[in-house]
Amino acid sequence: MKVRIGSIILGLSILALVILGVKSMKREVAKAVFFVGKYSGVVLFENEDAVIQCHKGFIRVVKIGNKASFFFAHNIPTLADIPLTQVDGAAMMTIDAEETNYIRLDRHKLEILFSVETKNYTVYAMRE
């Protein structure tokens, strides 16, 4: 009997996680106070010492309020606490965005063409 109850609880837990996962995929980044998402795509990082290029790189995005942090795979330095503002209703973009220096984030896509100090980030990724 204990095994059966354990299996039922495990099954319900997995079902709840699947439902929450599907619901979070539909969540608008701009409207959420707290958002965590994983994006994958082309990532290029350049600095004085190295160039790291990934055709299938991964980026974990954590947004709290109007600031977002971008955690990269492959030993690429994190972009932390980047201030964003809402644009086009469902997207977020860096406050001082220009054509050659910006971060744009929505529930489907992440685009980064951003320089800070001697570090240059170029990303085109889709949400998983």
pLDDT of residue 79: 96
Q: Is the pLDDT of residue 125 over 90?
A: yes
Q: Is the pLDDT of residue 35 over 50?
A: yes
* pLDDT, average across residues 57-63: 97
- Beta bridge mates, 114: 121
Q: By mean pLDDT, which of 6-10, 22-26, 77-81 is the weakest?
A: 22-26
Q: Is the pLDDT of residue 27 over 90?
A: no
Q: Mean pLDDT for the chain?
A: 86
pLDDT of residue 20: 47
Spatial distance between the Cα atoms of 48 and 15, rounded to a whole number of angstroms: 48
Q: Distances in Å between the alpha carbon of 26 and those of 15, 43, 108?
A: 17, 24, 9
Nearest C-alpha neighbor of 73 from the set 61, 58, 53: 58
pTM: 0.78
pLDDT over 70, % of the chain:
81
